[in-house]
Amino acid sequence: MREVQDHYFKEAKREGYLSRAAYKLIEIDDRKKVLKRGDRVLDCGAAPGSWLQVAAKRVGPKGVVVGIDIQPITHRFDGLPVRMVASDFTTALPDQLLQLAGDANRKFDVILSDMAPNTSGDPSGDHFRSVRLCEALLDRCPALLRAGGNLVMKVFEGEAYPELLKRTAGMFESAKGFKPKASRSESREMYIVATGLRANE
């Protein structure tokens, strides 16, 4: 498996991606088709910026990708439709994030989240902190994501995962777990890919 990880690390260097995590979103989108040309995208926990790079290339010049992270992102996304804010997504005002995308009255088409809590070495505690981040993201979907919009969010698997997946499935037309090849085999990370936010949300 180490050879596989070295492969993605080398590919990221060769292709100019800021981290190997880019290949997770590439595979998710190749398989699930969550991003479209012209989409408005919110990337939560965007540092160091590899998902911003992938999403911006896929939505094209008529789209826009807003990245939010507590850590400032210093990379310059020259020529790509990327805007950034250093803030905590759980306290950022939806109107401010929508305004960054160019129109406070038009919601995002896609929300991405590769967020993870600072790991403590306690797998159970890390799992529940990860689930809480996802729950906070779902809480904010109605204010940020248009009806019919898509969501991709990372979570650490554990006992609360089935209930999180069930809640997501209740909000979207489809919600399924997916583990990209670029994820480390020993990692407990899973991506919930949800499409078609229900209108009543």
> Does residue 154 have an active-site annotation?
yes
Longest dimension (CA), the chain: 47
Residues 84, 101: Cα–Cα separation, whole Å:
10
Residue 46 near residue 52 (C-beta atoms within 8 A)? yes
Residues 42, 100: Cα–Cα separation, whole Å:
10
Burial 47-62 (b: 16+ CB within 10 A, else e): bbbbbbbbbbebbeee
- Among 10, 62, 107, 154, which one carries the catalytic annotation? 154
Residues 44, 76: Cα–Cα separation, whole Å:
18
- Any idea which residues carry the catalytic annotation? 154
